[in-house]
Amino acid sequence: MSQNPLTADTVPQSSTPARDASAPDGRWVALIVLAAAQLMVVLDATVVNIALPTAQADLAFSNDDRQWVVTGYALAFGSLLLLGGRLSDLIGRKRMFMIGVVGFALASAVGGAAQNFEMLLAARALQGVFGAALAPSALALLSTTFKDPIERSKAFAIFGAISGAGGAVGLLLGGVLTEYASWRWCLYINLVIAAFALAGAVFRLQDEPRTEHPRLDLPGAVTAVVGLVALVYGLANAETDGWSSASTLIPIVAGLIVLVAFVLIEQRSSHALLPLRVVMDRNRGGAYLTISVAGIGMFGLFLFLTYYLTGTLGFTPVQTGLAFLPMMGALILSATLCGSLLVPRFGPRPIIPTGALIGAVGMVLFTRVDLDSTYVANVLPSLLLVGVGLGLVFAPVQNAAVSGVDPEDAGVASAMINTVQQVGGSIGTALLSSFAASAATSYLVGKTPTQATAALATLHSYHVVFWWSTGFFVACAVIAALLFRSGPMQLDPNAEPVIAH
């Protein structure tokens, strides 16, 4: 028996159009659908970045307003993920997935047609809202669609590769669309992806039957949203106002206090928004902490290497996007091989630290670039190493984040991996931007201000960021080695782990 998530009735499996999802071919088609939707959400975190200068000139908004086109999306997305994940558990993952896809497409259409800054900002915030409904339901559907350990590892490898490469895809797509079409197509392109994902959802996705209908934890929902909004807002202000400003410290402190209150509420709630059993498991807790730290280092790479390629080496937007392609290929290849061959046999513990250390070596090599470096000799080898490393991190982490979780908690467990990655990215952007600004200022002390010294100061700031990113990748390796259990992952709380042969 299979439940149709659009109704409260249980109907025979043969009468629902999603029935093919239970067959092997249907499962892999479902993966394509879910991966396409995930790509839409992930790439929108970066696809607009390259288009922003053109959009700014077209709509005539200020530099101070410009950062909010990015922050507005991150603020809504990061703060509502937990709520979106729990709602997908309560009302059905397929239903939430379809709501998220349709809403994300409509918000993208509004943004593409924006006539002023306010309209664009509202659209980006709505994208974040519906992305928070879409992302956790997609990962939860993936975890309930693939039960066989070998198939599951392959599916999560592909899904993890897309999540890891999505930022680079966004840079490339943003450059191509901005240069050859219009910045508006950076938003309109989502309509094409959403149409495919929606059609696939109707015919290829299905939910597991829900035997219980728990209530929504309203106190937990309110404190989670308020706490995450305040935290992400404060981190966004840190990038522009500095860490000592009231606009930074007050929201961050308030957010942390409210999130402590959220944890206390969850300890006592009989229908918690985030049951603490989800995060207290060693593998899942290790996955959440690992991806948040890795996210800081990864954002340092995407943001500051983009600055280096465009500002120092003079790359065009399209050239910058193309420059990341080898990293994407290395990431996808390593994630796929890792998921197919290594994760089912060894589990995440030996793989994630290895990947993080490979990424750290790549970041160390980035500290050697200078004003006269070339892409092939000095940038490409580092990109390939980081790509291989991130592939070995993302595939097992996303698998571990939902492995062994009770089916009724799959949505919120999926939401947590997106939440911590988003918060890690926000911390990374703010923290590394402030480190870069301080490094450039310190370098110029006592030097004659010339164009050459300014260029060297900027280069020095990049080196500092790359060293910090190296440190975060090393920290990721240590955390993973200490927290993850040895051996293959338990996929079902009532099942024995299976080792691949």
In a domain, 84, yes or no: yes
Q: Which domain does 448 fall in, by range?
A: 15-216+273-483
Name every residue whose Cβ is closer than 8 Å to that of residue 456 and which is 6 or more positions away in sequence. 371, 443
Residue 392 has pLDDT above 90, yes or no: yes
Q: Which of 39-53, 83-97, 117-131, 350-364 has the lowest mean pLDDT?
A: 39-53
Instruction: Say whether both 49 and 102 belong to one domain.
Output: yes
In a domain, 490, yes or no: no
The CATH number assigned to the domain holding 78 equals 1.20.1250.20
**Average pLDDT rounded to a whole number, residues 123-137:** 92
Q: What is the pLDDT of residue 72?
A: 86
Instruction: Say whether both 241 and 208 belong to one domain.
Output: no
Are the C-beta atoms of 400 and 286 separated by less than 8 Å? yes
Residue 368: alpha-carbon gap to chain centroid: 28
Pinpoint the alpha helices (H) of 146-275.
149-180, 185-204, 218-241, 246-268
Q: Write the DSSP symbol of residue 20.
A: G
In a domain, 4, yes or no: no
Instruction: Say whether both 173 and 235 belong to one domain.
Output: no
Q: What is the pLDDT of residue 422?
A: 78
Number of domains comprising the chain: 2
Q: What is the pLDDT of residue 25?
A: 63
Residue 424 has pLDDT above 60, yes or no: yes
Instruction: Say whether both 314 and 206 belong to one domain.
Output: yes
Residue 5 has pLDDT above 70, yes or no: no
In a domain, 316, yes or no: yes
Residue 105 has pLDDT above 50, yes or no: yes
Instruction: Say whether both 101 and 247 belong to one domain.
Output: no
Residue 486 has pLDDT above 80, yes or no: yes
Q: Which of 177-186, 253-262, 404-413, 442-451 has the lowest mean pLDDT?
A: 404-413
Instruction: Say whether both 172 and 249 belong to one domain.
Output: no
Residue with the bigger pLDDT between 234 and 339: it is: 234
User: 16: pLDDT confidence band, cut at 50, 70 and 90?
Assistant: very low
Q: What is the pLDDT of residue 8?
A: 37
In a domain, 45, yes or no: yes
Q: Which of 134-148, 154-168, 347-361 has the lowest mean pLDDT?
A: 154-168
**Average pLDDT rounded to a whole number, residues 375-384:** 95
**Average pLDDT rounded to a whole number, residues 347-372:** 94
Measured over the CA atoms of residue 242, residue 244, residue 250 and residue 251, the dihedral's sign is positive
Instruction: Say whether both 330 and 263 belong to one domain.
Output: no
Instruction: Say whether both 263 and 325 belong to one domain.
Output: no
Instruction: Say whether both 327 and 405 belong to one domain.
Output: yes
In a domain, 498, yes or no: no
Instruction: Say whether both 247 and 332 belong to one domain.
Output: no
Instruction: Say whether both 250 and 103 belong to one domain.
Output: no
The amino acid at residue 258 is V
In a domain, 19, yes or no: yes
Residue 210 has pLDDT above 70, yes or no: no
**Helix axes of 24-43 and 117-145: crossing angle, nearest 10 degrees:** 150
Residue 391 has pLDDT above 50, yes or no: yes
Instruction: Say whether both 76 and 223 belong to one domain.
Output: no
User: 98: pLDDT confidence band, cut at 50, 70 and 90?
Assistant: very high
In a domain, 495, yes or no: no
